[in-house]
């Protein structure tokens, strides 16, 4: 026999819908779902798109610099960059000064992909249902939250 485990004595601070972490997590999942078909048209996954945006901003970075910018581990970034290299959108070369350092540069195909990607942000803005100003304000708030969380880890 099973019993209903719900209780009328809710602990408000433990309700799922009262958690900022769940709001962020579930919103991130929805955002990624909205991005998926847009990025498929470009031949990119969401993590690949993030890496490409870093390189479109500044080409010729090391794997370490890209991973720092993306707040990720260099080891998890390497397979992603290898796939992008196979696709012909970037090249990876070892530094002449230090063989342990890998420099990542866009190819002509990777630079051309940037122009195609310009259609993505307006689609995301439209899907958000927010004005540009409201979305920018939310982004600023999230960046501030991220900064405070990073500082709490030090």
Query: DSSP letters of 67-132?
Result: HHHTTS-HHHHHHHHHHHHHTTSEEEEE-SS-TT-EEEEE-HHHHHHHHHHTTHHHHHHHHHTS-H
Chain segment 33-80, per-residue pLDDT in tens: 999 999 999 999 999 999 999 999 999 999 999 999 999 999 999 999
Q: What is the pLDDT of residues 8-45, one digit of tens each?
A: 567 888 999 999 999 999 999 999 999 999 999 999 99
pLDDT > 90 fraction of the chain, expressed in percent and rounded: 84
Instruction: Give bridge partners of residue 3 from the DSSP assignment.
Output: none
How much is the pLDDT for 12? Answer: 87
Give the range among 2-6, 111-115, 135-139 with minimum mean pLDDT: 2-6
Residue 6: pLDDT above 90?
no
Euclidean distance between the first and the last CA atom of the chain, given in angstroms as a whole number: 49
pLDDT in tens, 111-124: 999 999 999 999 99
- Exposed, middle or buried by CB within 10 Å (0-12, 13-18, 19+), for 16? exposed
Give the list of residues 6+ apart from residue 132 with CB closer than 8 angstroms, or none. Answer: 125
**In this predicted structure, what is the pLDDT of residue 10?**
73
Q: What are the residue boundaries of the structural domains of the chain, listed by start?
A: 119-154
Distance CA 62, CA 78 (A): 11
Between these two residues, 54 and 7, which has the higher pLDDT value? Answer: 54
How does the average pLDDT of the chain come out, rounded? Answer: 93
Buried b (16+ CB within 10 A) or exposed e, 119-144: ebeeeeeeeeeeeeeeeeeeeeeeee
The count of C-alpha atoms lying within 13 angstroms of the C-alpha of 45, restricted to the half-sphere facing its C-beta, is 9
Give dist(CA 121, CA 37) in Å, integer: 13
Tell me: the pLDDT tens digits for 80-94? 999 999 999 999 999
Give, as one character, the DSSP assignment of residue 1: -
């Amino acid at each position: 026999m099973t019993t209903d485990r719900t209780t009328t004595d809710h602990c408000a601070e433990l309700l799922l819908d009262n958690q900022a972490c769940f709001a962020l997590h579930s919103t991130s999942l929805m955002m990624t779902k909205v991005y998926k078909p847009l990025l498929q048209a470009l031949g990119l996954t969401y993590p690949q798109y993030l890496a490409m945006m870093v390189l479109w901003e500044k080409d010729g970075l090391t794997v370490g610099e890209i991973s720092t910018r993306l707040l990720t581990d260099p080891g998890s970034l390497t397979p992603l960059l290898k796939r992008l290299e196979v696709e012909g959108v970037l090249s990876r070369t070892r530094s002449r000064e230090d063989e342990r350092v890998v420099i990542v540069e866009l190819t002509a195909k990777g630079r051309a992909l940037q122009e195609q990607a310009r259609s993505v942000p307006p689609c995301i803005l439209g899907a958000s249902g927010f004005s540009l100003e409201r979305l920018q304000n939310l982004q600023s708030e999230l960046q501030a939250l991220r900064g405070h969380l990073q500082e709490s880890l030090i």
